[in-house]
């Protein structure tokens, strides 16, 4: 919100084509009801409990690469526990479009794919009433439910009357309320020293009160440099009869040039005592940042200790170091290892009841959300058994929020600039599991199926995973068996306090077609203890799933609640996942090399010849038998090779 919208220094979640004609009625019929636990309600609860909170502002980047990095930053900063984030609206950047750098796209991605409560800025600037209404309907359709309503800064030197539009934020707030009632939580801007275009500070306070009376739920202030400035503004607002929550906007000084630019745009004066400190170190970014961290931390402490400030809103400039350091010093950065569910919950209100997902997308959660975005209902309580889950196609591997955070050059250094044989592939998988450097001295931090570092629970199976990957069992998903671990366990815990969590051992991997006959012989001896599904790229499917019923592989028991089973192995969904899993060999790995080159051909051969296998050990209270299954596979293969007959028997002890 710094200087309204000029702080922006700078297919996706699919929108409905019906918006192209400006239709309102069609979008109303397909959008969710308001979330009973809206942002204004969350703020109210925090104020009543005395729990302090923070929120973060970001602006849309200029490039697609910047969009990838920003979404990654959302994921990183989400672990600190912001109550919400907000995304600015930059009129020059086509903010309401489906472009990957638009405000609408970035905000909807934060909600749907990162699970963040998100506030979308929207301005009157350069827009008609109908255009604004269309943006609002689109925002609602995409799952956005919070707005920061602003007049916006003029495109030129002076504000020009918007014919057929709005010229004041209060009129925009009235319009939102008249069209959408209470669906959106609405925030407005407050100016601790008065808006630069207003005749007086007192007149600006009167305008602020009009915005609140029009239907605003809370206020976020423009930046300021002294805590006394905000506290005085707060008291003046209360004296004026403004009773809604008012959040201070905190701007950590992070560089000399960024400070000058923001001061120019916001038309604020930097106090002389701050200038006197910064000017001698203006060429030392680290020194300025450290000073900015100290200054902002001290200011925030005064604000919080005043008893008037329930939370802090940070203007991050899309950077994280300074803001995170300030929050840690204030003890507001809470990296709570506990998760509500084993997977990231979308903040889209239509998915609020969702509490069951197939395990296959555990490391590609954004892809799962994308492929299920058009579902009318989401599983709650149990997965059920559907012959047609209707997963959307995933042909858009280029989408920025489905893309790798690494450049092509980085991926080649990790996965091999030139592959020699299949063993080269085994080595890449093994290096990823072990965390050790590859033959190029480069750590492998991701795979086509796993763009993030390994989950903590992988450490419980690291030795076994290393061993099987070296043998050509190329694992892309796994979990250990867990029997009644506390829900607060830092590695496998999830859900409310006082509960216990359970898991069946699960292993999913690619392996060559030559291993499948022997694997089936081994699995036959384990009878019902191990459920399996084996499929190739053509869809040839071998399984022992009873009537294609889903299998619960993760569940939890909590005080005063029904059993929750958030993760299942669903044989039908696996067929949809297999298309994506095989395609990633080509889309993410083979395409790094020239078509037809030896490296490209090695990947293509694996894609064509390997099978995708998942195994579930149903006897979760006992020692995981899946590693023994793999050992038996290779022992039997060696035995068959020795005796020269595929009918050799090998004792197997499940």
* Active-site amino acid positions: 57
Sequential DSSP letters for 31-100: SPPPPTT-HHHHHHHHHHHT--EEEEEE---SSHHHHHHHHHHHHHHHTT--SEEEE---GGG-TTSSST
Q: Which residues contact 407 (CB under 8 A, 6 or more apart)?
A: none
CA neighbours closer than 13 Å in the CB half-sphere of residue 509: 28
Phi, psi of 532 (to 5 degrees): -140, 155
H or E stretch covering 297: helix 285-305
Q: How far, in Å, CA of 331 to CA of 162, rounded?
A: 45
Tokens of 226: 């002294």
Tokens of 152: 């916006």
Residues 55-73 as b/e (b if ≥16 CB within 10 A, e otherwise) read bbbbbbbeeeebbbebbeb
E-assigned strand segments in 236-302: 246-250
Tokens of 323: 């803001």
Q: How far, in Å, CA of 550 to CA of 262, rounded?
A: 55
DSSP β-bridge partners for residue 552: 568
CA distances for 512 relative to 428, 442, 474, 609, 611, angstroms: 16, 27, 10, 6, 6
CA distances for 243 relative to 50, 76, 208, 309, 328, angstroms: 17, 34, 12, 13, 30
CB 124 within 8 A of CB 171: yes
- Residue 563: other Cβ atoms inside 10 A: 12
CB 535 within 8 A of CB 611: yes
Q: How far, in Å, CA of 429 to CA of 473, rounded?
A: 9
Residues 564-580 as b/e (b if ≥16 CB within 10 A, e otherwise) read bbbbbbbbbbbbbbbeb
């Amino acid at each position: 919100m710094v200087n309204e919208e000029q702080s922006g220094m700078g297919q996706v979640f699919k929108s409905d084509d019906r918006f192209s004609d400006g239709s309102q009625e069609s979008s109303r019929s397909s959008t969710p009801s308001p979330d009973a636990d809206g942002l204004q309600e969350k703020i109210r609860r925090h104020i009543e409990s005395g729990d302090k909170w923070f929120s973060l502002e970001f602006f849309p980047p200029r490039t697609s690469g910047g969009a990838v990095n920003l979404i990654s930053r959302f994921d990183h900063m989400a672990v600190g526990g912001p109550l919400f984030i907000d995304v600015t609206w930059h009129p020059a950047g086509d903010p309401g479009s489906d472009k990957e750098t638009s405000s609408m796209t970035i905000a909807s991605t934060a909600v749907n794919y990162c699970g963040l409560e998100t506030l979308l800025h929207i301005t009157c600037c350069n827009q008609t009433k109908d255009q604004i209404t269309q943006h609002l309907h689109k925002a609602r359709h995409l799952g956005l439910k919070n707005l920061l309503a602003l007049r916006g800064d003029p495109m030129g030197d002076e504000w020009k009357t918007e014919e057929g539009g709005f010229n004041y934020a209060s009129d925009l707030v009235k319009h939102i309320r008249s069209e959408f009632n209470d669906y959106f939580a609405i925030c407005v801007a407050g100016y601790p020293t008065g808006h630069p275009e207003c005749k007086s500070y007192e007149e600006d306070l009167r305008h602020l009160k009009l915005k609140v009376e029009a239907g605003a739920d809370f206020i976020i202030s423009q930046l300021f440099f002294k805590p006394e400035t905000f506290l005085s503004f707060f008291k003046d607002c209360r004296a004026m009869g403004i009773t809604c929550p008012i959040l201070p906007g905190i701007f950590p000084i992070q560089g000399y040039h960024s400070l000058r630019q923001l001061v120019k745009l916001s038309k604020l004066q930097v106090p002389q005592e701050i200038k006197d400190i910064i000017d001698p170190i203006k060429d030392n970014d680290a020194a300025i940042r450290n000073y900015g961290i100290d200054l902002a931390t001290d200011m925030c402490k005064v604000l919080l200790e005043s008893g008037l400030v329930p939370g802090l809103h940070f203007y991050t400039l899309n950077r994280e170091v300074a803001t995170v350091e300030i929050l840690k010093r204030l003890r507001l950065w809470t990296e709570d290892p506990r998760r509500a569910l084993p997977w990231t919950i979308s903040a889209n209100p239509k998915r609020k009841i969702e509490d069951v997902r197939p395990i296959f997308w555990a490391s590609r959660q954004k892809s799962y959300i994308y492929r299920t975005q058009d579902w009318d209902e989401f599983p709650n309580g149990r997965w059920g058994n559907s012959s047609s889950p209707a997963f959307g196609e995933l042909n858009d591997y280029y989408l920025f929020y489905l893309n790798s955070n690494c450049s092509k050059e980085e991926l080649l250094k990790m996965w091999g600039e030139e592959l020699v044989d299949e063993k080269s592939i085994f080595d890449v998988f093994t290096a990823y599991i072990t965390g050790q450097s590859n033959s190029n001295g480069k750590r492998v931090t991701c795979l086509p199926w796993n763009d993030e570092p390994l989950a903590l629970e992988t450490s419980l199976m690291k030795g076994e995973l290393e061993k099987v990957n070296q043998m050509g069992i190329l694992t892309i998903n796994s979990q250990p068996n867990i029997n009644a671990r506390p829900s607060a366990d830092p590695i496998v815990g999830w859900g409310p306090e006082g509960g216990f969590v359970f898991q069946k051992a699960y292993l999913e991997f690619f392996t060559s077609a030559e291993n499948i006959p022997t694997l089936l012989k081994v699995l036959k001896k384990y009878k019902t203890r191990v459920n399996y599904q084996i499929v190739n790229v053509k869809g040839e499917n071998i399984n022992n799933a009873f009537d294609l019923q889903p299998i619960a592989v993760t569940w939890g028991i909590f005080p005063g609640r029904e059993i929750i089973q958030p993760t299942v192995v669903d044989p039908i969904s696996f067929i949809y996942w297999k298309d994506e899993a095989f395609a990633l060999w080509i889309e993410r790995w083979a395409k790094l090399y020239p078509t037809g080159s030896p490296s490209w051909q090695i990947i293509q051969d694996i894609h064509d010849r390997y099978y995708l296998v998942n195994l579930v050990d149903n006897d979760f209270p006992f020692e995981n038998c899946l590693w023994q299954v793999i050992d038996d596979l290779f022992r039997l293969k060696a035995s068959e090779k020795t005796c020269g007959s595929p009918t050799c028997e090998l004792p197997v002890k499940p």
